[in-house]
């Protein structure tokens, strides 16, 4: 499909893309660039790329597809480094979780003959780093493409095919809609999980061992999500701060409402809300976006 693909940032997502490209024969050559020499060494040891070093400006040259897979806060730095080395007619994409700021930032800097099409694979685990990646990560997960105005239909089609060959299903969405929807399905759930675990740490006094022992009552699920990459999530919340902030307000209004119902022992209202929330689970499982087994099939 491509002669050369360059992945900038081989963490969980970047390294999973490298593995999926290799597995599905999507490029003759795969290279990556990481700031840290130990990561460059590691991805070569893992044999998931053909070459890797910290000279980003140089290593992107002649790439047909360049994928930025670093935290959002480093995009400016990355784009300034690579803009003069991007090949004519190539595609530039990323895998970031927030779009509005990034679309403008990159569009301003990218050369005319490069198609800038942002990607967001809705996939991941709580782990980080190149060793955590795996080639099946994108299978049956949605990938949202947000093309810049200047991107050609042909290139959008090519990038769509690329993600589909890695197992993804593809949607196209503008940046504003993307950032709104993802604040609901991803950003707020992560923020709330961090806040549940943080609140636990704040109140537990010397009861840490008890909190851990009885965490199977529900808390343990939140600790998995709160185990996600701190730098990545720091950047996501800041870049999507308007939506996040609005959704926090909605969340608190509803929580105060639940609190009032509990204090008033309004069992009817509580039961109504808890029954209403059951329906969406079935639809998520039916849509293939989660396993249908109880307790995620954990043993």
Scan residues 205-224 and list those touching its own copies (CB under 8 A): 207-208, 210-224
Q: What is the distance, to the nearest Å, from the Cα of residue 19 to the centroid of all Cα atoms in its chain?
A: 17
Q: What is the dihedral of CA 65, 70, 71, 73, to 10 degrees?
A: -80
From 80, 172, 176, 291, residue interacting with its own copies (rule: CB under 8 A): 291
**For residues 52-81, which are near its own copies according to CB under 8 A?**
73
Residue among 32, 2, 36, 4 nearest 16 (CA): 32
287 in contact with its own copies (CB under 8 A): yes
x/- contact string, 266-285, with its own copies (CB under 8 A)? -x--xx-xxxxxx-xx-xx-
For its own copies, the closer of residues 153 and 265 by Cβ is 265
User: Residue 45, interface with its own copies (CB under 8 A)?
Assistant: no
Instruction: Please name the residue ranges forming H helices in 24-98.
Output: 37-45, 56-59, 75-82
Q: Of the candidates 50, 51, 62, 127, which one interacts with its own copies according to CB under 8 A? A: 127
d(CA 27, CA 64): 9
Work out which of 17, 114, 144, 159 binds its own copies, going by CB under 8 A: 144
Interaction of residue 142 with its own copies, rule CB under 8 A: yes
The residue among 153 and 295 lying less far from its own copies, judged by its C-beta, is 295
Instruction: Write down the least CB distance from residue 227 to its own copies, Å.
Output: 4
Residues 6+ apart with CB under 8 A from 120: 95, 96, 97, 99, 143, 144, 146, 178, 182
Rounded Cα gap, residues 122 and 105, in angstroms:
22
- By the rule CB under 8 A, 176 interacts with its own copies: no
Listing DSSP states for 162-177 in one string gives: HHHHTT-EEEE--HHH
Which tokens belong to 237? 């919340």
Distances (CA, A) of 258 to 63, 76, 207, 248: 54, 43, 27, 15
Q: How far is the CB of 204 from its own copies (least distance, A)?
A: 7
Site membership for its own copies, residue 161 (CB under 8 A): no
Q: Are 112 and 150 in contact (CB under 8 A)?
A: yes
| One residue of 85, 126, 150, 158 binding its own copies per CB under 8 A | 126
Establish if 168 lies at the interface with its own copies (CB under 8 A): no
Shortest Cβ 79–its own copies spacing (Å): 20
Strand 65-68's sheet: what is its strand order? 51-53, 27-33, 2-8, 65-68, 91-94, 115-121, 142-147, 169-172
Judged by CB under 8 A, the residue of 1, 105, 132, 175 near its own copies is: 132
Q: Which of residues 223-242 bind its own copies (CB under 8 A)?
A: 223-228, 230-231, 233-235, 237-238, 241
Comparison of 150 and 251: residue with beta carbon closer to its own copies: 251
């Amino acid at each position: 499909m491509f002669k050369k693909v360059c992945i900038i940032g081989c963490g969980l997502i970047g390294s999973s893309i490298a593995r999926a490209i290799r597995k599905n024969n999507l490029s003759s050559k795969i290279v990556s660039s990481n700031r840290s020499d130990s990561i460059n060494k590691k991805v070569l040891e893992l044999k998931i790329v053909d070459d890797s070093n910290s000279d980003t400006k140089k290593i992107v040259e002649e790439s047909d597809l360049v994928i930025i897979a670093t935290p959002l806060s480093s995009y400016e730095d990355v784009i300034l480094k690579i803009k003069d080395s991007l090949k004519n007619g190539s595609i530039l994409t990323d895998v970031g979780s927030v779009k509005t700021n990034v679309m403008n930032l990159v569009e301003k800097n990218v050369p005319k003959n490069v198609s800038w099409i942002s990607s967001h694979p809705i996939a991941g685990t709580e782990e980080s780093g190149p060793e955590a990646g795996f080639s099946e990560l994108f299978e049956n997960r949605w990938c949202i493409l947000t093309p810049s105005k200047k991107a050609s239909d042909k290139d959008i089609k090519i990038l769509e095919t690329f993600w589909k060959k890695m197992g993804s299903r593809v949607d196209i969405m503008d940046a504003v809609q993307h950032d709104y929807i993802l604040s609901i399905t991803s950003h707020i759930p992560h923020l709330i999980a961090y806040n549940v675990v943080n609140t636990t740490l704040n109140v537990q006094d010397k009861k840490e061992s008890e909190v851990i022992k009885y965490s199977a009552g529900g808390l343990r699920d939140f600790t998995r999500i709160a185990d996600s990459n701190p730098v990545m999530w720091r950047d996501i919340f800041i870049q999507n701060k308007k939506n996040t902030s609005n959704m926090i307000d909605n969340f608190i209004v509803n929580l105060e409402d639940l609190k009032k119902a509990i204090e008033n022992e309004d069992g009817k209202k509580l039961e109504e809300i808890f029954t209403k929330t059951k329906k969406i689970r079935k639809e998520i499982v039916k849509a293939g976006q989660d396993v249908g087994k109880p307790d995620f099939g954990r043993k």
